[in-house]
């Protein structure tokens, strides 16, 4: 089957398609991959690439399942250990059911120095884990020598260190280095000079880089630029040069420069050569020397294994000394002769036999993305090493005795070898609240299960909540769910699946949303019982809310998120770090109202217009219609009331809708045809009537110039699929909202042509309506109704009543909620047709259904690789939080697997706010005042002054101002009791108030204070 003709299952892959694109998806679906070693790292890589959708994966392993594997491989169960099954065979059926489109096979034959490697020619990519360095070199040599080369990846996790290596052959072509959408830049000027300087519209920086290529279109005057491609040099954030334009015609106006994606060639060296002179990615810029130090330490580990036929023993200082000697001698053989870090070597030696599952999740996510790059040519590959260590987890454990790390014969031995038994016990006894059971939530639950979180005999509990049901598109990355789980609650299903990984974990699952409405469930008391809160959310509002609850209750919070190949993690610890709300991203730019209504310049504008039309016609208006007739149950009553001069809100629009209500399929089609004329012909004619093409502004410049595009009416053509598609999708939606039945025959071309050919389309009559051109103007809330409109409404309503067309059934409509993922409902069909017709009217490049769905549905692109990496990093921070580590141990991370970059940074230290006279506070401070029944506001203010040395001048409860001296009547409140002012519910023991203080000099703003928790009665201690 040709690569470009393959059908992609959009219901399953839609979120990933937006990350990779169809070309890469089709290449992937034809690739065969070989993976050796299905331990903790191998199973992570297998999971991610099966979810992604390669054609076939062979998993190879020669080891048998042991108790040890239960703590590192989430698809190995206790009965596999009892029956001593081979790891690949035990894992096979469980990884195979992750994706029905991927053929998964197991291989258990030995792979060693004597193996004939010709069988690997069948594969496009080979991944090795748990393979000796000698064998890695041999297999790499074989892969590199093939034509075309077999892409080679090796990855390992030993204790607290990990490494990843890639070799994709001498030359490897990358078709798209970043995966970002090509930028479009609106031009305001081009100079006639050498070099010609292009300036973009003010307040719209181009965000280009020197060396990139652009092509031009719609340039007026200097028209020879149109269709040509130029390499640019950045001059400033708003300008760039393009070479000699001195001989060209002078620039007049308009023009768009579009970025051209150019393929890039990457070059790789063999493993043998890279060992002596490694090219490493630096993930932590505060330790630029770390990658080389781990490189030497891991080479020393491989040499130790070769010399002694075993790994260094857990916690053995003698083995650590031996490994240090080896490291020093290896360092001398490398080109840069890097300095050996004794601590890295020692901790690697002590923990090498152990295994940290979250570290494997992080490395596995990165490694899997490299596999996808290898088989698709999409995104920039890793060149050529990545080293990640978690020494900041083990450094504080220095003083622990070696008995802490020795095996106990249970599933946590691999973990215990790295972090010691005391930390393992703390994890078992942990109470954790996980908010969200989507992609990150599923990965987090897997990490919790492997770490033994919430498995303590008397203590420990994982509480999870998610109000959503499982949809097919979730299965592509929410790996705990299967097709038979569709339409079941995420939280209950995820809890059940987690028990398959670790039957001893205690999980309490809910289907609540965490928001102010559920504060009775997720109360202060609930939060104080939690040791840590982990968010797995997809929106900022929910994060901000949960962060505020964590700050109010002094709970640590670990947040993370992904968007395509990008991801972030943030750890928030009481009294040490800033909180999530301490920083705010700039708000998303809104499209100006006048741009949407009359002057679109880009396809995003027409898509948003079509989405708004959907909302208004099929959701908002029907909802208002129903609400009106629920308030006024009969048409006769309404007629009487408006005749007597009463003004009923919204009645004009409701009566208009009632009088024009289509009552048959024919009328729905007719209405759709009339809407076509109104939206795509009359609108253009009206704008050109208001602003003819030669209209000029006060400064003499043309009104219709970039970014304003003049519209041209679209003439209806039944044979144009776009026109026909609009009519059918619009008519179907009108039929749905007006409860008009229709059949398959009604949808036939013959029927629709018959209806349309007899439609009397109203002629265009220009109006003198003012067209809004001010970009800062907002959409008006209410359009005033004229007295003529009111008289007309009375006439129309009388007519409907007399014609028996205002009966109870006529006073109901069926509002539609926009649903992007159901292809049968026609919602995306309508938005695509309406958007592209408007784009045609304004001569804007149209968008296909796929792109339209992403923009209209506000779909966040997502892929399992980034999700797995991010949740692994979160779980590593969780271990530190549980251990009560100092501030400098915590790391936030930003990653983009496409480029690839991974940047670890220290958390932001909490800021201290000075009030005055040495009195200060942080976001984590809370003052407390204990009152009694007759405690007045004046008593409260005095109590704050006596206890904290400063007198409040303002007291606020949430958004309610309790006491602001300058407000009328507020001075009288000083005598009122706190009970009367606050009006607490019967069970409320306290209230959180905000206070502020008078400034030192008049005219300045009041000084902020910390929250004050006021208890209505003295608590029993």
- pLDDT per residue over 982-1020, tens digit each? 888 777 888 889 888 887 776 677 888 888 999 988 765
Residues 82 and 90: their CA atoms lie apart, in Å, by: 12
* 3-class state of residue 1017 by DSSP: coil
Stretch 710-722: mean pLDDT, rounded? 95
Q: 44, 359 in Cβ contact below 8 A?
A: no
Q: Is the pLDDT of residue 879 over 80?
A: yes
pLDDT band at 469 (very low <50, low <70, confident <90, very high): very high
pLDDT band at 2 (very low <50, low <70, confident <90, very high): very low
Query: If we measure between CA atoms, which residue out of 844, 779, 850, 790 comes closest to residue 821?
Result: 850
Stretch 775-792: mean pLDDT, rounded? 68
Q: 185, 200 in Cβ contact below 8 A?
A: yes
Residues 6+ apart with CB under 8 A from 570: 558, 559, 560, 580, 892, 907
Q: Is the pLDDT of residue 677 over 90?
A: yes
Q: What is the pLDDT of residues 222-245, one digit of tens each?
A: 989 999 999 999 999 999 999 999
Q: What pLDDT shows up at residue 1?
A: 31
Q: What pLDDT shows up at residue 1003?
A: 65
Residue 259, token pair as written in the block: 């970025």
Q: What pLDDT shows up at residue 3?
A: 40
Burial of 56 (0-12, 13-18, 19+ CB in 10 A): middle
User: Which has more confidence, 654 or 555?
Assistant: 555
How do beta strands 213-220 and 239-241 pair?
Answer: unpaired
Give the per-residue SS3 of 117-168.
HHHHHHCCEEEECCCCHHHHHHHHHHHHHCCCCCEEEEEEEEECEEEEEEEC
- What are 527's strand-pairing partners? none
Segments in 334-403 forming alpha helices (H): 342-351, 357-376, 391-394
Stretch 968-995: mean pLDDT, rounded? 87
Q: What pLDDT shows up at residue 771?
A: 80
Q: What pLDDT shows up at residue 494?
A: 97
Q: How many residues does the chain have?
A: 1021
Stretch 187-211: mean pLDDT, rounded? 91
Q: 143, 33 in Cβ contact below 8 A?
A: no
Q: Is the pLDDT of residue 783 over 80?
A: no
Q: What is the pLDDT of residues 527-548, one digit of tens each?
A: 999 999 999 998 889 999 999 9
Angle between helices 603-615 and 827-841 (to 10 degrees): 130
φ, ψ of residue 518 in degrees (nearest 5)? -110, 25
Report the percentage of the chain scoring pLDDT > 90: 75
Report the percentage of the chain scoring pLDDT > 70: 98
Q: What pLDDT shows up at residue 253?
A: 86
The arrangement of strands across the sheet holding 184-190 comes to 229-231, 213-220, 253-260, 184-190, 197-200, 239-241, 233-236
pLDDT band at 1021 (very low <50, low <70, confident <90, very high): very low
- Model pTM greater than 0.95? no
φ/ψ bin of 231: left (φ > 0), alpha (ψ from -120 to 50), beta (otherwise)? beta
Mean pLDDT rounded to a whole number for the chain: 92
Q: Is the pLDDT of residue 787 over 90?
A: no
Question: 77-86, 131-140, 177-186, 890-899: lowest mean pLDDT where?
Answer: 177-186
Residues 419 and 472: their CA atoms lie apart, in Å, by: 39
Question: 365-374, 673-682, 824-833, 1002-1011: lowest mean pLDDT where?
Answer: 1002-1011
Is residue 594 annotated as part of the catalytic site, yes or no? yes
Q: What pLDDT shows up at residue 782?
A: 63
Angle between helices 721-737 and 827-841 (to 10 degrees): 130
Q: 292, 278 in Cβ contact below 8 A?
A: yes
Q: What is the pLDDT of residues 545-585, one digit of tens each?
A: 999 999 999 999 999 999 999 999 999 999 999 999 888 77
Q: What is the pLDDT of residues 755-765, one digit of tens each?
A: 999 999 999 99
Q: 498, 446 in Cβ contact below 8 A?
A: yes
Catalytic annotation, pick one of 437, 594, 651, 668: 594
E-state strands within 391-516: 431-435, 461-465, 507-510
Stretch 194-208: mean pLDDT, rounded? 90
Residue 801, token pair as written in the block: 């009543």
pLDDT band at 650 (very low <50, low <70, confident <90, very high): confident
Residues 6+ apart with CB under 8 A from 688: 710, 711
Q: What pLDDT shows up at residue 747?
A: 92
Angle between helices 439-451 and 490-501 (to 10 degrees): 30
Q: Is the pLDDT of residue 789 over 70?
A: no
Stretch 633-658: mean pLDDT, rounded? 82
Query: If we measure between CA atoms, which residue out of 555, 606, 608 comes closest to residue 579?
Result: 555
Query: If we measure between CA atoms, which residue out of 74, 57, 76, 75 comes closest to residue 66?
Result: 76
The 3-state DSSP composition of the chain as helix, strand, coil percent (nearest 5) reads: 40, 20, 40
Residues 859 and 854: their CA atoms lie apart, in Å, by: 5
Question: 30-39, 356-365, 622-631: lowest mean pLDDT where?
Answer: 622-631
Residues 966 and 964: their CA atoms lie apart, in Å, by: 6
pLDDT band at 673 (very low <50, low <70, confident <90, very high): very high
Stretch 656-673: mean pLDDT, rounded? 93
Q: What pLDDT shows up at residue 204?
A: 84
Q: Is the pLDDT of residue 347 over 90?
A: yes
Q: What is the pLDDT of residues 262-288, one digit of tens each?
A: 899 999 999 999 999 999 999 888 889
Q: What pLDDT shows up at residue 564?
A: 95
Query: If we measure between CA atoms, which residue out of 318, 187, 204 comes closest to residue 255?
Result: 187
């Amino acid at each position: 089957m040709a690569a470009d003709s393959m059908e992609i299952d959009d219901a399953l892959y839609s979120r990933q398609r937006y990350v990779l694109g169809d070309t890469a998806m089709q290449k992937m679906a034809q690739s065969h991959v070989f993976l050796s070693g299905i331990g903790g790292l191998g199973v992570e890589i297998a999971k991610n690439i099966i979810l992604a959708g390669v054609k076939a994966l062979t998993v190879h392993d020669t080891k048998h399942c042991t108790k040890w594997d239960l703590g590192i491989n989430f698809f190995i169960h206790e009965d596999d250990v009892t029956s001593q099954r081979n790891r690949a065979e035990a894992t096979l059926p469980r990884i195979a059911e992750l994706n029905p489109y991927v053929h998964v096979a197991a291989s258990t034959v030995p792979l060693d120095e004597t193996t004939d490697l010709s069988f690997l020619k069948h594969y496009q990519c080979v991944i090795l884990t748990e393979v000796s360095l000698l064998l890695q070199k041999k297999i790499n040599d074989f892969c590199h020598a093939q034509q075309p080369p077999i892409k080679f990846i090796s990855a390992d996790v030993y204790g607290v260190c990990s490494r990843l290596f890639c070799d994709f052959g001498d030359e490897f072509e990358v078709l798209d280095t970043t995966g970002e959408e090509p930028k479009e830049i609106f031009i305001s000027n081009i100079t006639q000079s050498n070099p010609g300087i292009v300036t973009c519209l003010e307040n719209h920086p181009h965000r280009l880089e020197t060396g990139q290529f652009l092509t031009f279109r719609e340039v007026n005057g200097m028209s020879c630029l149109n269709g040509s491609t130029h390499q640019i040099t950045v001059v400033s954030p708003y300008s760039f040069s393009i070479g000699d334009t001195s001989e060209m015609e002078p620039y007049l106006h308009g023009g768009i420069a579009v970025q051209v994606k150019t393929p890039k060639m990457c070059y790789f060296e063999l493993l043998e050569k890279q060992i002596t002179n490694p090219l490493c990615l630096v993930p932590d810029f505060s330790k630029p020397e770390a990658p080389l130090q781990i490189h030497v330490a891991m080479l020393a580990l491989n040499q130790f294994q070769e010399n002694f036929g075993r790994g260094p023993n857990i916690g053995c200082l003698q083995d650590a000394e031996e490994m240090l000697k080896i490291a020093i001698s290896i360092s001398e053989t490398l080109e840069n002769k890097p300095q050996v870090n004794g601590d890295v070597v020692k901790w690697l030696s002590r923990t090498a036999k152990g295994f940290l599952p979250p570290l494997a999740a992080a490395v596995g996510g990165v490694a899997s993305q490299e596999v996808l790059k290898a088989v698709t040519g999409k995104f920039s590959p890793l060149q050529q090493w990545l080293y990640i260590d978690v020494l900041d987890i083990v450094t504080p454990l220095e003083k622990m005795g070696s008995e802490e790390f020795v095996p106990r014969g249970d599933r946590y031995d691999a973990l215990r070898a790295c972090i010691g038994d005391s930390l393992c016990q703390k994890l078992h006894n942990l109470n954790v609240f996980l908010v969200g059971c989507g992609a990150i939530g599923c990965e987090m639950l897997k990490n919790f299960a492997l770490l033994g979180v919430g498995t303590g005999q008397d203590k420990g509990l994982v509480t999870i909540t998610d109000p959503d049901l499982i949809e097919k598109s979730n299965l592509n990355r929410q790996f705990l769910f299967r097709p038979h789980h569709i339409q079941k609650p995420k939280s209950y299903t995820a809890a059940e699946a987690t028990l398959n990984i670790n039957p001893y974990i205690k999980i309490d699952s809910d289907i609540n949303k965490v928001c102010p409405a559920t504060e009775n469930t997720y109360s202060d008391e609930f939060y104080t019982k939690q040791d840590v809160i982990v968010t797995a959310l997809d929106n900022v509002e929910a994060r901000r809310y949960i962060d505020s609850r964590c700050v109010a209750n002094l709970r640590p919070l670990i947040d993370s998120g992904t968007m395509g190949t990008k991801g972030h993690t943030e750890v928030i610890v009481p009294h040490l770090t800033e909180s999530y709300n301490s920083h705010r991203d700039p708000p998303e730019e809104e499209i100006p109202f006048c741009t949407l209504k009359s002057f679109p310049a880009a396809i995003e504008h027409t898509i948003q217009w079509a989405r708004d039309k959907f909302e208004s016609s099929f959701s908002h208006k029907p909802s208002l219609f129903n609400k009106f007739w629920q308030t006024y149950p009969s048409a006769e009553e309404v007629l009487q009331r408006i005749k007597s001069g009463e003004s009923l809100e919204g009645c004009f629009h409701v009566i208009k809708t009632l009088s024009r209500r289509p009552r048959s399929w024919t009328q729905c089609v007719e209405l759709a045809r009339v809407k076509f004329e109104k939206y795509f012909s009359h609108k253009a004619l009206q704008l050109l009537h208001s602003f003819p093409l030669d209209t000029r502004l006060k400064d003499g410049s043309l009104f219709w110039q970039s970014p304003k595009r003049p519209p041209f009416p679209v003439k209806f053509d039944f044979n144009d699929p776009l026109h026909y598609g609009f009519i059918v999708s619009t008519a179907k939606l009108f039929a749905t909202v007006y409860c008009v039945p229709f059949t398959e025959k009604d949808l036939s071309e013959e029927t629709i042509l018959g209806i349309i050919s007899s439609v009397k389309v109203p002629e265009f009559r220009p109006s003198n309506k003012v067209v809004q051109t001010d970009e800062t103007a907002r959409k008006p809330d209410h359009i005033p109704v004229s007295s003529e409109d009111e008289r007309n409404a009375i006439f129309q309503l009388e007519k409907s009543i007399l014609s028996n067309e205002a009966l109870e059934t006529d006073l109901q409509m069926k509002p539609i909620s926009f649903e992007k993922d159901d292809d049968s409902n026609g919602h995306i069909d309508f938005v695509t047709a309406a958007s592209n017709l408007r784009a045609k009217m304004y001569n804007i490049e149209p968008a296909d259904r796929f792109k339209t769905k992403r923009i209209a549905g506000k779909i966040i692109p997502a892929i399992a690789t980034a999700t797995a990496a991010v949740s692994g990093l979160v779980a590593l921070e969780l271990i530190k939080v549980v251990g009560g580590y100092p501030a400098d141990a915590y790391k936030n991370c930003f990653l983009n697997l496409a480029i690839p970059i991974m940047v670890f940074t220290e958390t932001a230290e909490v800021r201290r706010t000075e009030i005055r006279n040495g009195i200060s506070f942080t976001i984590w401070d809370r003052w407390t005042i204990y009152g009694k029944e007759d405690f007045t506001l004046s008593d409260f203010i005095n109590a704050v002054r006596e206890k904290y040395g400063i007198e409040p001048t303002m007291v606020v409860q949430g958004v309610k101002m309790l006491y602001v001296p300058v407000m009328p009547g507020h001075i009288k409140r000083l005598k009122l009791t706190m009970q009367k002012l606050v009006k607490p519910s019967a069970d409320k023991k306290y209230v959180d108030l905000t206070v502020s203080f008078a400034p030192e000099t008049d005219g300045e703003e009041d000084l902020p204070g910390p929250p004050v928790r006021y208890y209505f009665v003295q608590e029993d201690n």
